[in-house]
Chains A and B, each alone.
Chain A
Amino acid sequence: MPNRIRNLALLGALALAVTTAAVAAPKDHYLHIKVDDPAKGESVNVNVPLSMAEKILPTVNRGNLHQGRVTISNEDMNGADLRTILDAIRTAPDNEFVTVKQHGQDVRVAKLNGNLVVHVREASEDGHNVDITVPMKVVDALFSTAKKDELDVAAALHALAEAGDTLLVSVHDATQHVRIWVDSRSSQD
């Protein structure tokens, strides 16, 4: 009987240790950037642990960046009230709500499955095809500051890490491919 209790206690302690370790050390997520130019035989790969970026960013106070936030001027926004636009998007149902077609360019902005999705298609020979997918939680975090002219990049990075594996940006043109994504692997293999 004492042996059984001891074994049970050991098993309980082991389960507790495993659970604590799992809770204490969540898997880090990485921001990956890959730029390929097959025609020139060039490639650039960047891998950044999100937790690292999230901790370092608030320590940088230079120019428009301070305490993990970026100040944006009205000139940068061309007078557009981003918060109002995003509020409208946030409350809108999943749907394709903006489609712009002009001069061989097809731009579609939609909210799909909790993501803000932007597709740009350019018809010209060297035109770009751009796909951007940003989880709405990340957008919310980006605009979570009290000040209207600020973006909270550190909070957005935190939300991005919690959002899990996501392909954020994909750009293709005639020669170059750019991909930006987040996953829990430290390499791009």
Chain B
Amino acid sequence: MIVLGKIVLGLAGTAVAGAGLLCSEGMIQVNVVEKRPQGHHLHVMVPALLVPIGVHFSPRENIAEASAEIQPWLLTIRVALAQLRECEDVAFVEVNEPGQQVRVAKSGGTIVLDVNSEEESVHVSAPIRAMSSAVEELAAAAPATVR
């Protein structure tokens, strides 16, 4: 009985540690609500850590083009992401017009995009750290001749 308890405790501990590790870089949230009757409501929440892992294990030929295209901008993206991490919370862009509002902001360690129109509302948030990791994985996927 004691052995069984230890096994259960070990499994639960591993699960908690795994969940903690998965969530360590925060969560990516996508929320889309269509405002028409019987409109769709899409809500996706995934651990941000999965994105760089996903890029890492993607077949190289599938991401080679994107990887090559990002190379000239790599330094700019790296500096921008580093600066984003360091700066305090700020709404970078706010657009208000009749029937539509757009907001791009930094909140905590996350970049948040909100679009609210008459047809739908969209909310996307992604941790900056995960964006950095994903960019590095994508950059590393480029053929050596491009890097």
Contacts and interface: CB of A to CB of B under 8 A. Distances in A.
Q: Do A and B come from one complex?
A: yes
Interface of A: 28, 30, 40-49, 51-52, 55-56, 59-60, 186-187
Dominant secondary structure of chain A at its interface with chain B: mixed
Interface residues of B, number: 18
6 contacts: A43-B94, A46-B92, A47-B92, A48-B92, A49-B87, A56-B79
B84 interface: yes
Contacts of A28: 87-88
B93 interface: yes
Interface of B: 75-76, 79-80, 83-84, 87-98
A48 B106 CA distance: 11
Contacts of B75: 59
Contacts of A40: 97-98
B interface, by DSSP: helix, strand, loop or mixed? Answer: mixed
Nearest to A60: B76
Given A42-B97, A43-B96, A186 B83 contact: no
Contacts of A47: 90-93
Given A186-B89, A186-B90, A187-B90, A59 B79 contact: yes
A49 B85 CA distance: 12
B92 A44 contact: no
Nearest to B92: A47
B87 A56 contact: no
A41 B96 CA distance: 8
A45 B91 contact: yes
Given A55-B83, A59-B75, A186 B97 contact: no
Nearest to A48: B92
B93 A56 contact: no
A18 B90 CA distance: 25
Contacts of A56: 76, 79-80, 83
A47 B87 CA distance: 12
Given A43-B97, A52-B87, 19 more contacts: A28-B87, A30-B90, A40-B97, A41-B96, A41-B97, A41-B98, A42-B95, A42-B96, A44-B93, A45-B93, A48-B92, A49-B90, A51-B83, A51-B87, A55-B79, A56-B76, A56-B79, A59-B79, A60-B76
